[in-house]
Amino acid sequence: MVSLKGNKEPLKARFAILFLASWAMQLAESLVFLTICLRQKGSSESKPVDAPDLETGK
């Protein structure tokens, strides 16, 4: 149990660690989401892996 009296530095350190961990998790989730969206959208140069060259023109 955390005491409210005395040194509050450990409590501040725990808060900072939890804040950074939460921020890192949100960043990772955003990167995964962005990667999935970009892979689904593709580009004008992309083609399906199993498409033959005759169907894509390259």
Cα 46 to Cα 56: distance, rounded to the nearest angstrom:
9
| Assigned token pair, 24 | 């890192």
| Assigned token pair, 53 | 């060259």
The pLDDT, as a whole number, for residue 38 is 84
Q: What is the mean pLDDT of residues 11-40?
A: 92
Lowest mean pLDDT among 21-25, 38-42, 50-54: 50-54
